[in-house]
Structure 1
Amino acid sequence: MHEALLDVHVVAGTVGLLLGPVWLVARRAGRGGRWPAVGYQAAVALVAATGGILAATSPGLLWLLPVAVMTEILAVAGALARRRGWRHWATLQPHLLGGSYIALVTALLVAETGNPVFWVLPAVVGQLPIAVAKRRLQVAGPAPA
């Protein structure tokens, strides 16, 4: 059972890592990107759920449960920020969605290398694209109603 759950976790993470940039490119090209967005959200939800279960059932990994929960919260909140017209959404959305994507990248790099530097490096490197996205959204103006 553990191996099957881990396989689902890895496949969902891979799908999320692939769909994140597809969604971004679709949005930048002026298309809504609805299907990549739905796919990304589903992949992150599945990664968070399977990661949470794996963390709760694997000795010594319970501390990863909040990471799984926060990754899902970031993805959902990022998707809702613009759609719901949250105040300061243009500042919030890149951090929220970017944070969920950075969590996927971090998990991949840490799992594959075991190198502790990868707990921090993706977050540091991710600040530049987040800053660029914030700038573009703020220049573009308010979200359409």
Structure 2
Amino acid sequence: MRETLLLLHVTTGAAGLLLGPLWLAARLRDRRADGAAAAYLVAVLAVARTGAALALLAPGLAWLAAFGLLTGVLAVSGALARRRAWPHWRSVQPHLLGGSYVALTTGLLVAQTGSPLAWVLPALLGQVPIALAERRLAAAAVPA
């Protein structure tokens, strides 16, 4: 069972890491990209769920299940922010969706390196594209 969960976890994590930039690239070209968005959300929710299950199966790692839950919440909230036109969604959405992608990247780096830097580096480096996305959305809101 653990091997099956791990295979699903790695596969959906890789899918999320590939789909995130595809969705972003489509949005930068002013395309809706509903398919990429839906696929990204499915991948993130699947990797979050399998990650939480794996954490609960491993002795002493149950605390990691919270990261799976948070990653899923970030992705779904980011998608809903724009769709539901939340107040200040242009400021909030890049942080939510960017946060979900940073979580995927962090998981990959922690699993591959085990380095304490892997917990911090993705969040630090992720601030630049998140800030650029926030700036782009804010500029788009200003009437020409």
Contiguous gaps of at least 5 residues in structure 1:
none
Q: Which consecutive aligned stretches of 4+ in structure 1 deviate over 2 angstroms post-superposition?
A: none
How far is the alpha carbon of 1:60 from its aligned partner? 1.1
- 1-structure distance, mates of 2:55, 2:2: 11
- Match status 1:43 vs 2:43: yes
TM (normalized to structure 2)? 0.97
- 2-structure distance, mates of 1:118, 1:49: 21
TM (normalized to structure 1)? 0.96
For 1:60, the equivalent position in structure 2 comes to 60
How far is the alpha carbon of 1:30 from its aligned partner? 1.2
For 2:5, the equivalent position in structure 1 comes to 5
* SS class of match (1:87): coil
- 2-structure distance, mates of 1:54, 1:97: 24
Contiguous gaps of at least 5 residues in structure 2:
none
* SS class of match (2:20): helix
For 1:91, the equivalent position in structure 2 comes to 91
RMSD: 0.8
Deviation string, structure 1 residues 95-136 (Cα, Å, up to 9, x no partner): 000000000000001100111101000000000000000000
For 2:19, the equivalent position in structure 1 comes to 19
- 2-structure distance, mates of 1:61, 1:99: 22
For 1:73, the equivalent position in structure 2 comes to 73
Deviation string, structure 1 residues 8-63 (Cα, Å, up to 9, x no partner): 00000000000000000001111101111011000001001101111111111101
